[in-house]
Structure 1
Amino acid sequence: MIRNYLKIAFRNLTKNKVYSAINIGGLAVGMAVALLIGLWIYDEFAFDTYHRNHDRIAQVMQQQTLNSEVKTASAVPIPLARELRNSFDADFKHLVLSSWTTRHILTFGDAKFTRMGNYMSPEAPAVLSLNMRKGTWQGLKEPSSILLSESTAKALFGETNPLGKMVKIDNKLDVKVTGVYEDLPYNTELRDLRFIAPWELYVASTDWVKAAQDNSEWGNNSFQIFAQIADKADMEAVSAKIKTIKSDRGDKEELKFKPEIFLHPMNRWHLYSEWKNGVSAGGRIQFVWLFGIIGGFVLVLACINFMNLSTARSEKRAKEVGIRKAIGSARTQLIGQFFSESLLVVAIAFVFSLVLAQLALPFFNEMADKKMAIPWASSWFWAAGLGFSFLTGLLAGSYPAFYLSSFQPIKTLKGVRFRVGRRAALPRKVLVVLQFTVSVTLIIGTVVVYRQILHAKNRPIGYTREGLVSMHVSTPDIHNHLDAVRNDLLKSGKVVGITESQSPTTDVWSNNTGFTWTGKNPGLQADFATIGVSFDFGSTVGWKFIDGRDFSRTFSSDSSGFVLNETAVQFMGLEHPVGQTIQWNDRRFKVIGVVKDMLMSSPYEPVKQTIYFIPRRAGNFVTIRINPGSNAPEALAAIEAVFKKYSPTSPFDYDFVDAEFALKFAAEERIGKLASIITVLAIFISCLGLFGLASFIAEQRTKEIGIRKVLGASVTHLWGLLSMDFVVLVLVSCLISSPIAYYFLDDWLQNYPYRTELSGWIFIAAGLGALLITLLTVSYQAIKAALMNPVKSLRSE
């Protein structure tokens, strides 16, 4: 029987090629979208599961009350690790002190590369369960050792065995390669970890780190601690135990910040990384749910098309149903027949969806910043795919199966056209309203996402980023010859400015407390972004002064001078800031100038109160402004020649500041691109549904149209008559989708302190766009019916 069902189903598909192509194409697109979104969601939930003990690994984090608000950060002091070991040793299997993942120069012979890496405690390889290709997890126990990732080892040594070879870090530290580990996968937060050097080497070679460790500086929150809890320990219980460890054992000066320590599990790093006033506010998990719902809706839209197109052909299959019932077919057999057709269509669509997904996957990966692959060899994938297809077939075929099998054989075999009541059309109209409600909501959402991105991009940034080149400096060579480097570059005519800073132009690397000024509330624990810069910083980046002057070498007192941004002046409540004295711990500084806010961090957040000063230590970054009249490649060549002259052992790596600034919009732009593509596909699928319903209506009203034409109705009048039903449905969709879109988008925009507005024209434009798309879609069927010869439609009367 099943074989017979499938044979008839296949004959019906080949007989009605256009109908079959639309049905299969719509379902294939919907299933391909659902498949890609399903892979994306799986990859999001699979983040960091590469590490064998991911469910028992956590980052030690802290919360402090600053500026009357609870701030959450992963930066912690060195002594905290010692206290955790001493007081809670039974609760932890491993504790790992770590620097931040930053760029360093690795050199072997003539080979020199810049790679991201960390200094970490010897337990790090065991905690991260690194897959060692050569050597063992014990490699970091030697004080002058290094573990390299497989790709880094190959870049430095080629196919030669690297074990025992000597490598130089930042042109100053000689270390021996004691291990090579497999590169960490792309879906892990530590994927940029290209080498690991011992923590003790970091301490021994960096004076300020040594001071922080030797002097037990509880206030120096400049480090990371990773922990693996004991096998039988509970993560939440251990986190609760250590909550007051810093306030109980730390410096009494820290008590005023009300510090609280807790564990942030690795399983939550990727999806739950946002905090608001000390409370977890989610993170990427909101996008997981969002795209999961959108993927489900797109698939439902495709299933709705199947239903609409099947009912549109109902009149043609009415006699078939009548004959089958007349010769003894039970309704259950007819339902089985229609379900078999549905499952055959879905099976073919599933095959095409796999092809579409595979073809689209490289493009999708690039947009979503992923490195996913369809797991062809996974039995779970095929089980899920086939099960998913079966359920889709049942969902898509349910309405046609039960609807078509309900036809009465007496009426159909008498030659009477199959008629239904007014309410019979209601389900189809509801489905079309649902389709366009989803589509219009997606249109509005996509427009708002792009408006938010554009709003942030057009925000004043307080300096001129075009023509700025930034270089992370890992060695002291350039700093030690900065004046000579500046003179050579200016003489070349290719450069008009060069400066050093302790933070990149597009980020803030340092925040500090301990500031006192006239009029300060004694109970306020304030922190400021603190940017150490050289004298030429302002003239190089082009910041804009509101009051006072820039740093100058002609004033020796400027080494104890501050330049404030306008937010700092407002935060401190200073009416006439220039000339006032601010105390920073035990040093006194005089305000020499006030500049407009420089947008250095997130373009969606308010600019933080910032203090610029001349530091005692060298800067980590060199920023150069290319002469506007120079060719960029030629200018870069000139810069490289000068840098090679004074730092011949360092690779020449640089970033354009405007490109670095553009990366701040990457996450939102990816969301916008994905949303726009899904929106286009949803509209395409919805239009197929409209096409099906237009076919159905035109088929039902053939004789009415013929009579109207005989009585003198014009083609334009008939087109309007047939199109009006769809216009009403789309208007209802707009009325439903607008409040839904407003509710969710307004909630989404609340995540951005600096945000665009939900203007009424967006909803109006989305509605008009949907109406235009509707008219274009139904016009073909409406005009075709209006042009039909009335003689053919009325001759049977």
Structure 2
Amino acid sequence: MLKNYLKIAFRNIVKNKVHAFINIAGLSVGMAVAMLIGLWIWDELSFDKYHSTYNRMGQIMVTQTANGETGTFRSTVVPLSAELRTKYAGDFKHTSLFWGGAHILAVGDKKISQNGGWAEGDLPAMLALKMVKGSYAEFKDPSSIIISQSVAKAMFGDADPINKTIKADNKTNLKVIGVYEDLPRNTSFYETRFLMPFFNKNNWWGTQTAAWDNHGCSLYVQMGDHADFDKVSAKIRNITKPHFKMNDETIQVHPMSKWHLYSDFKNSKSVGGLIEMVWLFGIIGVFVLLLACINFMNLSTARSEKRAKEVGIRKSIGSMRSQLINQFLSESVIFACLALVVTLGIVLIALPAFNHIADKQIAIPFGNIWFWLMALGFTIFTGIIAGSYPAFYLSSFEPVKVLKGTFKVGRFASLPRKVLVVVQFTVSIALIIGTIVVFRQIQYAKNRPVGYSRAGLISVEMNTPEIYGHYETMRNDLIQTGAVEDMAESNSTTTEIWSNNGGFDWEGKPAGFDPTFGTIATTYDFGHTVGWKIIQGRDFSRNFPTDTGAFIMNESAVKMSGIKNPVGKVIRWNKQDHVVTGVVKDMVMESPYKKPVATVFMMLPGWVNFITLRVKPTMPMQEALKKIEPVFNKYNPGSPFDFKFNDDEYTSKFADEQRIGNLATIFAVLAIFISCLGLFGLASFVAEQRIKEIGVRKVLGASVANLWRLLSTEFVVLVTISLLIAIPMAYYYMNNWLHRYEYRSAITWWIFAASGVGAIVITLLTVSYHAIKAALANPVKNLRSE
């Protein structure tokens, strides 16, 4: 019986090549999208599962209320680790502080910049790092270091690195005691390429063992074997209150299983995060696959009259309906299996580009038996879904009526097909509208005035001791190269605010009011270098010796403080008086989707660790960098010239939304393609069915335009109905998405108008080929048999 099913299926494929091509192409594209999304979702859901301690690892999260807003963040205080380890030893197996960032590693004349961090001795065991050489047993030794395989290769080539010395940041000599396997991309510690002992004399954070008010480190914990995350979180919730003056601070343990997908907090509760994208793209994948299945259903039922006699004959010679259902389902499964072969080819070709867009390193696991079982199951399921409606529909024909020639499909036989076309275009149009809204939001934020000039700004981290203390001479040397307009130092780049502080006091300050300001230490020339805009008072100036320790406030800081006419006012902070010399326009230094942070800029040259310089706009960047690099090599010989363009750093803030937009665009285009593929097949069938009607109308004087309109109107009506459903649905969901952002664009009427016009134009282009072809056909030839 199965052999017979296969023979009939392949005969039908050969006999109806166009029909078969459209079905296989549609299913292939739909299955390819579903497979790509499935691989992406699997990668997201398996994030951090590389670590065998996945189910017992956690991170301490801190919740504070500042300036009337409650926020939960990862930065905590150094003494908390010892407090948890000693007072709650039964709940925590290990605790470890971590301070990560870029560092300079040097062996002889070889110097590289790599991301790593200072960590307490338990972290390697907590992460279950897979050692390929040596061990981390002696990691608590302040002079030790463990490195990844890639760092070992870069620093030592094929030589054994164990017991070799690496100099970190040109000041710390460390002995390599172990080499661990590079972590995969879908781990939170992927960029951590080496670990150094936290309590090393050259790690400033290691000296803050009694600083309960200085947040800056991450604290990771491994729970005891029988400890419950929620119960332990409740137990330690208020542990910092006796030590920290902000008595509203609470802490909790955030499980590793939620770090990646549930990273958003509201009122100290985890409320979601990337899991929303997983659900979104999962739903998109299901719908795109459904669109392909709808094509199969539509084309199969549309050609029902072609196979009606086959059904009638088979029933008349004894075939049961269940046998016919099995036959048609087997045909659709064969189509799906053929589509799977094409799908794997599409995915192989598309995967590199998909990885680039999604920022992943996904590969098809051909060697994994579970992949093949899931792929086969997914294919059979798709075939059954695609063939279910045609199978039950075709098998229901009555043999007597079919063989007598009195069988008619009925006036409502096309209604299910029309409903399915409406579903197809509803999904496609909704995806188009969503894509436009996402890109408008990105562009809206990109076009936001940032309050300074990003073009030509370069940032260099001051990562070795040698580079400190040469500000004036280094600035002069850089300006004399002719490539640099100005240079300044600060404790943050223009795209981040690394420090936030309270404890400010001034005359007239309300009792109990203790605002938190972003605090940026600068040198004299910071304002001129970044191009900020003074709106009151003046900039820092060497002409005023009293500017040492002076403040400049931004608009948001003035508004939050309530100080009227702040220029010349005295603000007391850290037991010292600071005079406000000016007010600058708000600069967007953190998220471009949020309101600017209330910030105080301070003349504190001893508190800086970044150099910002502006390249002259008249000089090509590559030529300028060639002139700048020797100056840095002169003052910072222990480090390679490692710089970042501020414009690129700002643009990277849009990466998540850009990624969503790019993926949504691809899926929207493929959804439209699949829908149009089905529409093309249906238009071909409709034109074929009405060929005699077209001949009669043409003989009676109908023009080509009239006939084109006759055949196209039905499809335009269906797309119009899709628009009426898709527009309110897309508006509802995209409006909710936009409300995640404080700074957001509006959803305007032209988005829907453009999507609607676009959908109708695409529909007309798709069906016009068959409509015009039928209208131009010779009516004599088509009516000869009448």
* TM-score, with length taken from structure 1: 0.97
**SS of residue matched to 1:422:** coil
Instruction: Say whether the 8 Å CA contact 1:139–1:179 is kept in structure 2.
Output: no
- Of 584, 590, 605, the residue aligned with 2:579 is 590
1:344-389, Cα deviation, whole Å (9 max, x unpaired): 1000001110111011100000000000101111111111111111
Gap change, CA 1:719 and 1:653, over 3 Å in 2: same
Alignment partner, residue 388 of structure 1: 378
C-alpha distance in 2 between matches for 1:518 and 1:287:
49
| Maintained 8 Å contact 2:483/2:616 | yes
Q: Secondary structure at the match of 1:551?
A: coil
Question: How much has 1:338 moved relative to structure 2?
Answer: 1.1
* 2:272 maps to 1:276: no
Equivalents in 1 of 2:90, 2:638: separation in Å?
Answer: 47
Q: Shift of the alpha carbon at 1:525?
A: 3.6
Q: Report 1:485-634 matches (<5 A).
A: 485-615=474-604, 617-634=606-623
**Alignment pair present for 1:103 and 2:93:** no
CA distance in 2, matches of 1:468, 1:585: 32
Aligned partner letter, 1:177: V
> Which secondary structure state, in structure 2, belongs to the residue aligned with residue 250 of structure 1?
coil
Is the partner of 1:464 in helix, strand or coil? coil
- Cα deviation for residue 404 of structure 1 reads 1.6
Asked if 1:462 is matched to 2:451, the reply is: yes
Output the CA distance in 2 between the equivalents of 1:581 and 1:738: 56
Distance 1:695 1:427 in 2: 18
Task: In structure 2, give the amino acid aligned to 1:23.
Answer: N
**After the TM superposition, which of the residue ranges 787-796 and 219-228 deviates more from structure 2?**
787-796
Is 1:126 equivalent to 2:115 in the alignment? Answer: no
8 Å Cα contact 1:312-1:695 kept in structure 2: no
Do structure 1's residue 151 and structure 2's residue 170 form an aligned pair? no
1:246 correspondence with 2:235: no
Q: Deviations over 1:207-242 (max 9, x none)?
A: 5x35521xx121111211100000111111111111
Aligned to 1:313: 303
**AA matched with 1:670:** R
| d(CA) in 2 for partners of 1:339, 1:386 | 15
Q: 1:780 aligns with which of 765, 769, 784?
A: 769
Q: Deviations over 1:695-747 (max 9, x none)?
A: 33323333332322232222211111111111111111000001110110011
- Farther off after superposition, 387-396 or 627-636: 627-636
Please state how far the C-alpha of 1:752 moved relative to its aligned partner.
0.7
State the 1:98 CA deviation. 1.5
SS in 1 for 2:342: helix
Shift of residue 194, structure 1, vs aligned partner: 1.0
Distance 2:464 2:388 in 1: 69
**Aligned mates of 1:642, 1:131 — CA distance in 2:** 41
Q: Does the CA contact (< 8 Å) of 1:530 and 1:611 recur in 2?
A: yes
Pick which of 451-460 and 565-574 moved more.
565-574
Moved more, 309-318 or 347-356: 309-318
Gaps of 5+ in 2: none
- The correspondence of residues 698-777 of structure 1 with structure 2, limited to 5 A, is 698-777=687-766
CA contact (8 A) 1:312 1:692 kept: no
Q: Identify if the C-alpha distance between structure 1 residues 557 and 281 changes in structure 2 by more than 3 Å, giving closer, same or farther.
A: farther
- Once residues 519 and 347 of structure 1 are traced to their aligned partners in structure 2, the CA distance between those partners, rounded to angstroms, is 77
- Maintained 8 Å contact 2:594/2:743: yes
Where 1:560 maps in the other structure, the secondary structure is coil
Q: In the alignment, does 2:38 pair up with 1:38?
A: yes
SS at 2:34's partner residue? helix
SS for the counterpart of 1:644 is helix
Please tell me the residue identity of whatever aligns with 1:683: I
Give the paired residue count.
786
Mapped pair 1:17 → 2:17: yes
- Whether the 8 Å CA contact 1:139–1:147 is kept in 2: the answer is no
The answer to whether structure 1 residue 117 and structure 2 residue 116 are counterparts is: yes
Please name the residue that 1:361 is paired with: 351
Deviation at 1:501, TM superposition (A): 0.9
* 1:78 aligned residue: 78
- Which has the larger displacement, 639-648 or 581-590? 581-590
Paired residues of 1:450 and 1:669 also in contact (CA < 8 A): yes
Counterpart of 1:221 in structure 2 is 215
User: Which range moves more in the overlay, 431-440 or 279-288?
Assistant: 279-288
Give the 5 Å matches for 1:181-330.
Answer: 181-201=180-200, 204-207=201-204, 209=205, 211-213=207-209, 216-247=210-241, 249-251=242-244, 253-255=245-247, 258-330=248-320
Q: 1:350 aligns with which of 336, 340, 347?
A: 340
Q: Deviations over 1:500-551 (max 9, x none)?
A: 1101111111111112234433333421111111111111111111111111
Q: In the alignment, is the contact (CA less than 8 A) between 1:135 and 1:163 conserved in 2?
A: yes
| Matches of 1:139 and 1:150, distance apart in 2 | 19
Residue 107 (structure 1) shift: 0.8
Give the unaligned 5+ runs of structure 1. none
Q: Distance in 2 between matches of 1:21 and 1:538?
A: 64
Tell whether the 8 Å contact from 1:103 to 1:114 is kept in structure 2 after alignment.
Answer: yes
Task: Report the equivalent of 1:139.
Answer: 138
Which string of whole-angstrom CA distances, capped at 9 and with x for unpartnered residues, describes residues 376-422 of structure 1?
Answer: 11111111111111111110001111112222333333345x42223
Shift of 1:792: 4.1
* TM-align CA RMSD: 1.4
- Structure 2: distance between partners of 1:789 and 1:327: 41
SS in 2 for 1:138: coil
Contact 1:61 1:73 (8 Å CA) reproduced: yes
Amino acid at match of 2:173: D
Is 1:654 the equivalent of 2:643?
yes
Query: Do the aligned partners of 1:139 and 1:146 also contact (CA within 8 Å) in 2?
Result: no
Report the Cα offset of residue 89 of structure 1: 0.9
Summarize the Cα distance change of 1:236–1:284 in structure 2 as closer, same or farther, 3 Å threshold. Answer: same
**1:279-307 CA-partner distances (Å, limit 9, x unpaired):** 32311111110000000000000000011
The one-letter amino acid of 2:424's match is Q
Is the 2:5–2:331 contact (alpha carbons within 8 Å) kept by the matching residues of 1?
A: yes
Question: Which of 617, 624, 629 is residue 635 of structure 1 equivalent to?
Answer: 624
Question: Aligned pair in 2 of structure 1 residues 521, 380: CA closer, same or farther (>3 Å)?
Answer: farther
* 1:26 match: 26
Whichever residue aligns with residue 456 of structure 1, its letter is A
